[in-house]
Structure 1
Amino acid sequence: MPQTGKPQKTGAVKQITSHSNPIVKEIKGLVAQRKHRSQSGLFVAEGLKLATDAIAADWGVRYLALGPDARDNPIAQKAAATAKARGALILEVSTAVLSAMTRKDNPQMVVGVYEQKLLGAKDIDPAGATVWVALDRVRDPGNLGTIIRTVDAVGGSGVMLVGDCTDPFAVEAVRATMGSLFHVPLAKLSKDEFKSLAKNWPGTVAATHLKGSVDYRTPDYQVPSLLVMGNEQKGLEDDMADACSTLIRIPQVGEADSLNLAVATGISLYEIRRNHLELS
């Protein structure tokens, strides 16, 4: 992120034609390996929309790779100029090199490498918040990305990742956010940190749970709300549920034994925010 009062380092433009270029290998590693993403603090996001969202939100951009179609696109050129002014390296590459970077036969015209942002438990301030979502051991990157997108849509304040969760910076998760990753704060918490936070949370702490006896439409959700959702396969662990003030359930009448995690989270979020949302 640009720092006021300090000289801004200007980036550069580099043409890359070889699949074996070290930067291409670096980007491929970020796409494929969580370990590489964790060690570097970087991640890959594909597409012009995500690039413009990241730049508008002042996220740090390390590389912005432009394919042939991007060179005649005024939006892509503006994004590249802004990223370069902030110190990013702009890569002019062929479609084949883009494919090598992303491991996709039909890559997007723009591929960006961005700096990760993750809050800790001490960074979460309920004051002024609307609703946070806490996810216990979520494993599917598509679910996680969709939930981040839904939190953004309802005007939520952030997403807490509790315990061993899937990587929010995996390409599949980032893609599912449709750019909301750059607008929704993410926090990483241990189970004990979550319990301590939930114990002192000033608003409603509601969790979906099989033991829930309260229809999700019944509670008078107090702001700031905290919605707690469990693992896709095993649900919410009992000790996590015990840390919540209200256990809710979504009624079902068909033969399905459960709802998809992202769907259940979306239904619950829109009910929690029902009195605060209006068509514009």
Structure 2
Amino acid sequence: MAPSARPSGRRSRIESLSNPLIKRMRLLREKRHRRAEGLFLAEGLRIATEARETGILPQWLFATEEGAAHPLARALIDAALAHGGEVIDTTPAILSKLSGKDNAQTVVGIYAEPALGLADLDRTAAPIWLVAERLRDPGNLGTMLRTGDAVGAGGLILLDDSTDPYGVEAVRASMGAIFTQKLVQTRWEEFHVWLRAGPGQLVATWLGDDTLDYQAARYEAPTFILIGNESQGLPSAYAAAADLRVKMPMMGKADSLNAAVAAAVMAYEVLNQRRGV
């Protein structure tokens, strides 16, 4: 028997803010509704195209007339319909309501939230992994995802009570890297057990004693770069559990770097050492 064809999607038009689907999708700006639905919102043709190029397509795609006319949008619409998605032609006002921005993008996609755990990660698939502990700023989270994409990292592991990576601000800041990087949310205890069950060097950025200059240390693949909370840094117990504790020289009055900047500096140092191997 021949395999059944994938059901084709449908295309419709919505212009009313009181439409039930619009009301439902607007609620995705709130974390509890994202969790309940298992969905998140990503705005902009660039981000949606990044997702399509990795094989990820929206379940719902909202587009204005201007947005739908772009060649990349036409390709996205065709792919979404072919994979059973729903395309909704709509107005700029509705897209503003969905995204929460007055100057909304012309395309908004609604995607299924990946349900990844540590057991789903192949630690040997990449030489670098980023790990962030209690990361609170969605802009920092998005920037870390972009950094991970840039250096060929496997993904980002969020520890403890970090900000929601699928919030609109974090997704926007990731510039599409939310779709190219593996992302797992877990607790320190589970992460530490998983890490020690296989290969992996844990490197903590740490301002305390017993640290190496970040360029003097030697990194072994896979390297897990551990970055602490923006205001409090890492708990001492987490730093003590690392294989290496490193710090970057601070020549001015500031005593530490922004968390996302520190992650980028560390990731590129590890990348540079790996390029020399």
> What is the TM-score of this pair, normalised by structure 1?
0.93
Cα distance in 2 for residues equivalent to 1:6 and 1:237 = 54
Q: Which AA in structure 2 matches 1:11?
A: G
Is 1:225 the counterpart of 2:223? The answer is: yes
- 8 Å contact 2:28–2:39 — kept in the other structure? yes
Is 1:143 the counterpart of 2:140? The answer is: yes
Q: Percent identity?
A: 38
Cα distance in 2 for residues equivalent to 1:156 and 1:6 = 37
Aligned to 1:248: 246
Say which is worse superposed, 120-129 or 177-186, in terms of deviation.
120-129
Is 1:197 the counterpart of 2:165? The answer is: no
- 8 Å contact 1:206–1:246 — kept in the other structure? yes
Aligned to 1:113: 110
> Alpha-carbon deviations, 1:32-66, whole Å to 9, x = none?
x0001111111000000111111221224211001
Cα distance in 2 for residues equivalent to 1:219 and 1:210 = 15
- 8 Å contact 2:54–2:179 — kept in the other structure? yes
1:210 is aligned, of 200, 207, 213, to 207
Cα distance in 2 for residues equivalent to 1:199 and 1:252 = 32
Structure 2 unaligned spans of 5+: none
For residues 1-280 of structure 1, what are the structure 2 equivalents within 5 Å?
Answer: 6-31=4-29, 33-211=30-208, 212-277=210-275
> Alpha-carbon deviations, 1:157-205, whole Å to 9, x = none?
1110111110110111011111111110011221111121233442321
Q: Which AA in structure 2 matches 1:174?
A: V
Q: Which AA in structure 1 matches 2:37?
A: S
Runs of 4+ in 1 over 4 A off after TM superposition: none
Aligned Cα root-mean-square deviation (Å)? 1.5
Q: After TM superposition, give the deviation of residue 6 of structure 1 in Å.
A: 5.0
SS in 2 for 1:76: helix
Q: How many residues align?
A: 273
Q: After TM superposition, give the deviation of residue 154 of structure 1 in Å.
A: 0.3
Cα distance in 1 for residues equivalent to 2:16 and 2:125 = 50
Cα distance in 1 for residues equivalent to 2:78 and 2:125 = 35
Say which is worse superposed, 78-87 or 192-201, in terms of deviation.
192-201
Cα distance in 2 for residues equivalent to 1:127 and 1:78 = 34
- 8 Å contact 1:199–1:243 — kept in the other structure? no
SS in 2 for 1:181: coil
Cα distance in 1 for residues equivalent to 2:26 and 2:250 = 43
- 8 Å contact 1:63–1:89 — kept in the other structure? yes
- 8 Å contact 1:195–1:240 — kept in the other structure? no
> What is the TM-score of this pair, normalised by structure 2?
0.94
